[in-house]
Structure 1
Amino acid sequence: MPFFPKPEAGTWTENWPELGTAPVNYNDSVDPEHWLLEQQAIFKKTWLQMGRVELLPKKGSYVTRELPSAGPGTSLIIVKDTDNVVRAFYNLCRHRGNKLVWNDYPGEEVSGVCRQFTCKYHAWRYSLKGDLTFVQQEGEFFDLDKNQYGLVPVRCEVWEGFIFVNLDDNAVPLEEYLGEFGQGLKGYPYHEMTEHYSYRSEINANWKLFIDAFTEFYHAPILHMKQAEREEAEKLAKFGFEALAYDIKGDHSMVSSWGGMSPPKDLNMVKPIERILHSGLFGPWDRPDIDGIKPEELPPAINPGRHKSWGTDSFEFFPNFTLLFWAPGWYLTYNYWPTAVDKHIFEADLYFVPPKNLRERLSQELAAVTFKEYAFQDANTLEATQTQIGTRVVTDFPLCDQEILLRHLHMTAHQYVDRFKAERNGTAAATATNGKDRANV
């Protein structure tokens, strides 16, 4: 799987001249009207990752997902049906529009196991395949054909155990959408890593700003200085941090970096608790005994340059799904769900091979807690960023060569919005023309 290496005397950015080198305008992160366009143009048109198949362990298992990113009130049911097929439906009863699956609070996501879905309001029932199977006092209705009133389906496909949905019935198939990166990541032992830790938090910043933070390491030696031992922190601050590789494939991108101490060459580089538990930000040092994680076994998209010092790869699948691999043999995902122009829900999920003893359990917990501390530092900085770019005192900001994926993200998001506006304007023009034609008949 080819990727672009950095020229010896050049830059990463010159590999993608269409991105340019001019300052980037950040109005797309503060303009409420632009955010509403993103809802329609991006989050109703692209494949969105909902979680792992392990959320649905048996027939009848279901979860609900709230998707305000695709419009207020948007709610989905994701279920494993009687044929073990994962399906998705709008969480809406076809009788009077009541939310179908919820517990005490309609806005909360729920999960469980059932044989059918029954509406709380008038007891209409639906099978796990979405068919309307029972109508209370059916004889009171007029020519009601139950075959016409099943749950409204949503495109749902599974890739390597990850469940995706798309609200656009005309969208390309998921594997085509994921493209070369998706093909190049097949075969990683995701199914072996079922020990799961998750975090969820509302962030007072535009969704793209958090992705910006995780697609460059320019900030790492400064923002995260206190997380490293003093000597190591001073060294990083003096010389900076340079990633091993960047790559862009269509709407998606990746960055590959060194690191992933397993174990570190010098134990004085890490804190005492990390030495005791053999773990830290990069995960447990003791690699799990499974196939598929040795350097020579990794899928071709991971560590594409096959660098000996490789430690982590971060893949950004547009619009809001990050898949990040660590050399010691674990991975994590991020999702960013915008709720307003200056707010989003950040979800992080960490996946490990199930521990065999207490030491392994504690080493995983330390990795999860350490990750959370780093993420909080990033989130805090982003909220400060949002307050200032919101003033629009400055709208254009210079980006360095290491921030190439930021350029790509904002350009890609703009392209979706621009295409949507062009299609909408074309439809409006066609409607107006047809109206004139009818008036002239």
Structure 2
Amino acid sequence: MPPSLLLGSTEATPKLKTKSVIPGPTYTTPSVPMPKTPVNKGAANLRRAALFQDSPARNGSTSVFDMIDSRKTHSAWWMKRLSLVKQAASPDTGRVSDYRQELNGWIAELEQGSVDPAILKKLALFCRQHPVNEPMSPISPALSDPSSPRLHSKTSPSLKTDFWNQDKTFDRLFSALIQVLNPSTSPEALEYGLIVLWELIECQSPLLEGREADMFSLLLQIRYCADGDVMQATTDFRDALATRIEPVYGLTTMHAALRMFHGSPSSNADLKDNTYAFGLIALGKFMLRLPAEVLEDELPRLRDTLITALTDQSSILVREAAAASIIAAQLVLQDEAHIFTLLDGLPEDKKNLLAYLFDKHGARGVVAAGPSGIERLEKEIRRLDSRTSTPSRTN
């Protein structure tokens, strides 16, 4: 026995050493997530694309037409339209049969090939005086969202959609107008014909649904007239449509029209190159309105067109316009390595050129000082538009 346990022992009883217990981690039962259907990336992108809204209007304007009207300098074509609009009277209050017969007479003149500017002026005023009292078609991005409020024309209408649809009145008018607006028509008639088309977009837009491809093809073809005022008018049209049409649909439709135009024969190479550059800029304007997730899906579909235009050896204007469109894509994605991956097959020298242009136009993120990347790109596009709208002396 240890001495300390004997009777009479004076030794202190040693204390037993106890092992300190270190509290262990506390475990909680993890919450089991509820089962859910995996997210479909394609459907999610389409839902995002359906939620587009118009950019904030400048100077309190509520219409892209008002934005164009607020420019400090106006084209000669736009001034003609303003002068004609001032002649517009209040909506007609007469019998439907009276102005139906009058309208049918003007359409018959167009169908017979008559392009009298006086008739075109009357048609433009008639369309303006009798807007359609219906929600605007998907040519307006606000209706891409089913929950968005219904939009109506700003003026008090006197005609209903049934009037324009009866006897296919609107179809006949639009088809006849497209037929007479060709490069062989006089510049004056082309200008007033475009004014009629402008008023159709402004006042009868619900009836233009599905006709965007025809309008894009028309804008590309009539530029062969080589008239400066008409070419500037097509630029005004392009900018208005690029702002108003739902961007995914507009990008796809414009791209198809541009490819068809590029593959068609032409006896004037300079005008064709100018118009091709004009269409490439339109692609860039649509891309600027796309979310990054949607543009990632759309850019590979434009790859062949953009690479071919960027490596074009016949026109520096085509190359510059293609570069401007790719800069627009970079401003949206903000990732040049990803841009080059999506544009697979781009030559190395063009990658170096684009990297330089991205830096020059402030497309690599936030610019510390000076204008933003969007402002620099807009300035570049205005420069290119000035060149595409100025026919050469040989033309």
- TM-score by length of structure 2 reads 0.25
Larger RCO of the pair (alpha carbons < 8 Å, separation 6+) = 1
Q: TM-score of the superposition, structure 1-length normalised?
A: 0.23
Higher strand share: 1
Larger-Rg structure: 2
Greater share of helix residues, 1 or 2?
2
